[in-house]
Structure 1
Amino acid sequence: MNRTIPLAVCFILSTLGVLQAQDSSFLAPPKYVGPPQTVHAVTNRAFTGIPSLAVSRGGRLWATWYAGKTPREDANNYVVLSTSGNGGETWEEVLVVDPDENGPVRAYDPELWIAPDGKLRLIWAQAVGHLGTIAGVWFLEIEDPDVEQPVYGEAKRVTDGIMMCKPLVLSTGEWALPASTWRETDESARMIVSVDQGKTWAQRGGCNVPKDVRAFDEHIFVERNDGSIWLLARTKYGIGESVSTDRRKTWPELTPSKIAHPSARFFIRRLASGNLLLVKHGPIEKKTGRSHLMAFVSNDDGETWKGGLMLDERAGVSYPDGQQDTNGVIHIVYDYNRTKDRHILFASFREEDVAAGKAITDSVKLRQVISDASGE
């Protein structure tokens, strides 16, 4: 089968000299998508981290992360998909996305999303090396996320860049991806939009992160009640923000937000109540390291935050992501010590617990294990 290289990628390869021609294999679909093989066994992992979580309409939990046989983010990286049909009591790894086992192509930074059509999207980045400019966002559509064994179609590359946070369905019905060509380019925190339920995608503007604070973007969108879009992004100093008021076509340059945070991913999402949930490290106005993972709630579109439910105070916890299920329970996944303990964990709770800053319902369950690759 002949495959053509997108024009944007050709420009990057020719002008920046990032890759040799033989390394353009990252543009091809992964060579292996299927059940975990021996090489993917938990006992063969020296790296485990960067997770995401989604919940089907019927309550089945799904978690993804990436792993590797070396203790690094390198050419050995592959994506793991695990599921639980009993509320997280037990988990089974059912799928692996591995571009070529030993490299040079790596699959990494996965994300899970239940789209309005009810399908589960397993999303990941694929590239040679770590440059956001030559990475691509790949989708694998899983038809029925209520069943344990996933039935899926072909893996598809939908846009350039890396998508580290969940898509947003706008009030217009459009689907918006927060895809980034981080670090190397201006206006790297981009919005990629589909007007036809994911059949096609096109860029609709991008926010510029100043060069001196530019890191990995890992941006996320929130549609506010006034119709504006609030963009929050990771920077070297913590969390920056930009607000678009013209239907997402233009974005002011990123400026520091009022939310104190280390340079790490955070999670924000609108709840069924209409309030916003924020999961971050430490109190709202206090900058900590990658510890003290806490949940807060806002009833004024992020102007103020209340509560502060402690999910995990240990050093080495990071990268929260999650979803509220149809019963109102919030599930948040995160990692712990990616090259030592190699844990993927999740917490469950309700909005009331967050607002109170302590467990007041029987839904609070903390430090639940999804995967332990420590060998202990």
Structure 2
Amino acid sequence: MHRILFFFCLWVSTCNRAQETPPAIIQNEFLFTEGADFLQCHASTIEQASNGKLVVSWFGGTHEGNKDVVIWGVRSEGKGWSKPEVWADGRMDDSLQYPCWNPVLFRAKNEKTIYLYYKVGLNPREWWGMVKTSHNNGKTWGKAQRLPQPILGPIKNKPVELTNGTILSPSSTEVSENRWTAHVELSEDHQQTWKSYSVDSASTMNVIQPSILVHKDGKLQVLCRSKEGAVATSWSEDHGKHWSALTATHLVNPNAAIDAIAFRDFFLIVYNPELPGKEWWEGRAKLRLAYSYNGTDWRDLLALEEAEKGEFSYPTIFEDSQGLVHIVYTYNRITIKHLVLQF
């Protein structure tokens, strides 16, 4: 009996050590030549096409919020990437163009169509949701369609597909500079129509840009960027229609985007481990990967960036069909960095 107990304890200890071991970074690269096509870029997203190739998108132009900011993208081609191309813009007519924001790439399971969601408008308080689709692995994109109000589409992080086929899109509204609220948008007809459900709209916390985690027991969890100095969380037990009160996690948040996914039997989050500064852009010089078994207790696993100055922000984390983890993020607003991790 003691022998069995010994080997059981050894097995548990080994498992814990294995999951606490940092993954190997097997690829570390920039996706394009700095300054060749635009001065600044931000808010990258990544997806895997049905042919196994990767597609990445972001917004770029002279400066965030300028009318020349459009949605750019690249496709993986063997060992390299295609030249950046404009995939969408905010042109209304020959004399009027609005800036574009926050693309999100998404392909549902067992489908070939890739959706490119993005925002168009003067600022996050006035923007509206747009969508394009590609049926040839991101080589070409169809006509831009405006989402029906008040649907905004995924604001920064990817939708998730539930076991019943429902698509749940993490979204949020910047009501004003002083009031932010999160919600989810639910589609039961393959992303053709959507219904919106608030995430604790009565909360005094100001949250945007949620990530959705699906737990093994069917519960859903959102993790949100906040103005309150911590990553905020809320839970749903009815597939996203009702949510618990928002609470602060122990993960600090400098008013910067995060992203999280379910991976194997635990969860991963990429975040900036700093408290808010005097300005909204402060606290983005460090970027970390952390893990949790329950979505509540998080431990740092890997330092992705560890600088005194700079901006390494707006991460997207994604698991490909081979079980490799990809992270893309803004690198000083001049390029997009891509990491591939092997656990």
> What is the TM-score of this pair, normalised by structure 2?
0.77
- Please state if 1:319 is matched with 2:314: yes
Are residues 1:206 and 2:196 paired? no
Q: Following TM superposition, by how much is the alpha carbon of 1:153 offset from its aligned partner in structure 2, in angstroms?
A: 4.7
Assess, with a 3 A threshold, how the Cα gap between structure 1 residues 188 and 86 changes in structure 2: closer, same or farther.
same
Distance 1:103 1:270, change over 3 A: farther
Distance 1:337 1:62 in 2: 21
Residue 257 (structure 2) pairs with residue 265 (structure 1):
yes
Aligned with 1:278 (options 244, 269, 278): 269
1:161 aligned to 152, 161, 179, which one? 152
1:161 partner SS: coil
The 5 Å alignment of 1:1-376 reads 42-43=35-36, 45-69=38-62, 71-87=63-79, 89-100=80-91, 103-116=96-109, 117-131=111-125, 134-145=126-137, 149-159=139-149, 160-161=151-152, 163-184=155-176, 188-208=181-201, 210-211=203-204, 213-214=205-206, 217-236=208-227, 237-271=229-263, 273-282=264-273, 287=275, 289-298=283-292, 300-306=293-299, 308-314=301-307, 315-338=310-333, 342-350=334-342, 352=343
In structure 2, stretches of 5+ residues that fail to align are: 1-33, 277-282
Separation in structure 1 between the aligned mates of residue 77 and residue 317 of structure 2, nearest angstrom: 17
Count of aligned pairs: 295
After superposition, give the CA deviation of every residue in 1:340-360 in whole Å (9 maximum; x if it has no partner).
xx111111112x2xxxxxxxx
* Contact 1:188–1:209, Cα closer than 8 Å, also in 2: no
Structure-1 separation of matches of 2:180 and 2:242: 10
How has the CA–CA distance of structure 1 residues 266 and 129 changed in structure 2, closer, same or farther, with 3 Å as cutoff?
A: closer
Question: What do residues 163-187 of structure 1 show as CA deviations (whole Å, max 9, x unaligned)?
Answer: 1111011232200111211243988
Task: Provide the aligned C-alpha RMSD in A.
Answer: 2.6
Separation in structure 2 between the aligned mates of residue 104 and residue 57 of structure 1, nearest angstrom: 33
Deviation of 1:109 after TM superposition, in Å, equals 1.0
| Alpha-carbon separation, structure 1, partners of 2:95 and 2:317 | 30
Q: Which moved more, 1:309-318 or 1:177-186?
A: 177-186
> How far did 1:318 drift?
0.6
| Cα 1:44–1:349 shift into 2, 3 Å | closer
Q: Give 1:227's aligned amino acid.
A: G
The code of the aligned residue for 1:79 comes to I
**TM-score, with normalisation over the residues of structure 1?**
0.71
Shift of 1:227: 1.9
**Cα separation, 1, equivalents of 2:222 and 2:199:** 10
In terms of fraction of residues, the more strand-rich structure is 2
Distance 1:102 1:255 in 2: 46
Distance 1:42 1:102 in 2: 26
Q: Identity, % of aligned pairs? A: 20
